[in-house]
Each structure stands twice: as C-alpha cells, then as structure tokens.
Amino acid sequence: MDVYGLLGNPVGHSLSPSMHEAAYRELGMDARYVIFEPEAESLRAALQGASALGIKGLNVTIPFKQEVLTMVELDELADRIGAVNTIDLTGDRPTGHNTDAVGARRALTDHAVDVDGARAVVVGAGGAARAIAFVLADAGATIHIANRTKERAEELATAVPKSTGHGLGDLPELLENADVLINATSVGMEEDESPVPAGALNRHLTVMDIVYRPLETRLLRDAEEAGAATIDGAWMLLYQGVAALERWTGQDAPVEAMNETLRAELAGESGAFK
C-alpha cells in the first residue's frame, strides 16, 4: 500500500483525504492519504521519517509552507514564490513544489480564461497572493496587486514581473479595464464580507475566489449580480490536488471523480460560516 499525506499543525477538517482517496479508487491504486500533525521542532525529523518509511508524497499546509523550504530541493517556481505545498518523495531526494500556484492557473484556464495578455487584479499580498501573482506573470498576464496594507502590495510588485502595487481604494479604477479579479485574501470566510466594493464589479470580469468555505462568498454573489463570470474556491483546491497527485503518481488525475467528491463534501458541511 502506498501512503501519501498532509503535513500541518493544526490541520483542522481537511478535504484532501477524501479528494485524494477518491482518485486512488478511480485509478485502482492501493493507497491511503493520511493527516500528520508534527510539532514544529520535529518537522525535519518527520520528513526524514516519511522518506525512510517509504511515504510517496506530502502536501504541506499552515504553518509549514515556509519552514520546509530549507529541507527539500526546490523547483524553480517554489523557490521564487518562497513556499512549498507539495513534497515529492518518490525520487532520490525530497523535492518541493508549489501546486497552489499551478492550481490557480489551471482553475482559470479550465474556465476559458486566456491568461496570456490578460489584465489581472489580485487582492491580497500574503502567501496565496504571492503564489498566484507569480504564476499569472509567468503565463503572460499583467498584474495589479491591491492590498489593505498598500506597502505590502508595493513590495510584492517589486518581485513580480509586469505588476503594480496598490491600496484597496484603487480597486474601482483598476477593475474598469481588468479581465480577471482574484480574491487571494481570507476575507469572506469568517464573515459575509467582500474585500471588493460591489459597485466596482462589471460584466466583463471573470472573478475567482480562493475562499471555499463558504463556496458562495459575498464577492462571488456580488460578481454574479454584476453579470461577471465566477470561479469558486473549490476549483483552486481541486487543481492543486490534481497537480500534486499527477506529480506523485505520474498518471493523469481523474479530475471529475476528485471534483465530485470535493463538492459533495463541501455541500455536506453544515452552516455557511465556520
């Protein structure tokens, strides 16, 4: 039996085990996906142990996405982003990758968004925004980063090619000519709030949210009302998992089975805000 897993502490209720195990069933793999919650000081030992035990791959979540940077061989994108969410243990040495970034791009392209040449507005300047901004820049987009703390947006913009940094106050103007808007903050998860004024949205936009609890965020509802196309947060979650699974197994992921399981799990969760 092959073992994969998720490293974080605390992990909380993760959708990854059911999503990945749905894929294993579909592919006829004898495999399990397990949650591991090591103490921060044991992280290096945990990774070495995982390798020694023949664990094939690990996803990494809060608070370890930066900590593991020094413990694995980084691919170029993960190195530039400065965060790892996927570790491949199938080779001679553990390698670190960022499938959050790849997942965001694939969520967009799978919804017929032509990222090359697009004008993208990214809200946020934390780890998620950083991953998304780099991967969109690689794909040929022009990026405007808008953040509550303007200085963080400006700092991120100095690192990302073809990008500018702004405060949230610039959003109405930035969105007038934008093609894509991505919320890369956690706003909308705890409360029924949006980081973007509803009046700044328009029908020419595609609006993507990284928040998936709830799936229907205030931002996405406002976007629908404005006539914009929407991409909910489960798509990025799905495609980061797809990219991780494909890296670990070398097989095409059964995207539909993974998506169905993910959405069934999310639909089964009670209460909009948790």
Rounded Cα–Cα distance for residues 40 and 133 (Å):
28
Residues 6+ apart with CB under 8 A from 24: 30, 31, 32, 33
Is 148 within any annotated ligand binding site? yes
Does the footprint of ligand ATR cover residue 186 (CB under 6 A)? yes
Q: Is 66 in the site for ligand ATR (CB under 6 A)?
A: no
Given 12, 49, 126, 161, the residue binding ligand ATR (CB under 6 A): 126
The closest alpha carbon to 117, from 137, 138, 139, 141, belongs to 141
Whether the CB-CB separation of 58 and 8 falls below 8 Å is answered with no
Helix (H, G, I), strand (E, B) or coil at 38: coil
127 binds ligand ATR (CB under 6 A): yes
Q: Is 233 annotated as a binding residue?
A: yes
Q: Which long-range contacts (CB under 8 A, 24 or more apart) does 45-50 make?
A: 46/7, 47/7, 47/71, 47/72, 47/87, 47/94, 50/5, 50/89
Work out the widest C-alpha separation in the chain, in whole angstroms.
Answer: 55
Measured from each CB, the residue nearest to ligand ATR is: 126
CA distances from 123 to 86, 107, 174 (A): 24, 17, 11
* Identified binder of ligand ATR from the candidate list 32, 152, 204, 221, rule CB under 6 A: 152
Residue 240 beta carbon to ligand ATR: minimum distance, rounded to whole angstroms: 13
Among 57, 94, 165, 195, binds ligand ATR (CB under 6 A): 195
Q: Which is nearer to ligand ATR, 149 or 251 (CB)?
A: 149
Q: Hey, what are 136's tokens?
A: 């969109």
The yes or no reply on residue 185 touching ligand ATR (CB under 6 A) is: yes
Is 56 tagged catalytic? no
How far apart are CB 214 and ligand ATR at their closest, in Å? 16
Q: Confirm whether residue 127 is marked as ligand binding.
A: yes
Task: By CB under 6 A, name the one of 42, 149, 177, 251 that touches ligand ATR.
Answer: 149
From residue 120, give the alpha-carbon distance in Å to each of 4, 88, 123, 207, 236.
Answer: 34, 31, 10, 10, 16
Q: Per CB under 6 A, does 56 bind ligand ATR?
A: no
d(CA 146, CA 150): 7
Our finding on whether 159 is near ligand ATR (CB under 6 A) is no
Is 196 a binding residue for ligand ATR by CB under 6 A? The answer is no
Active site residues: 65
Binding site for ligand ATR (CB under 6 A): 124-129, 147-149, 152, 185-187, 195
- Pick out the residues of the known binding site: 14-16, 61, 76, 85, 100, 124-128, 147-152, 210, 212, 233, 240
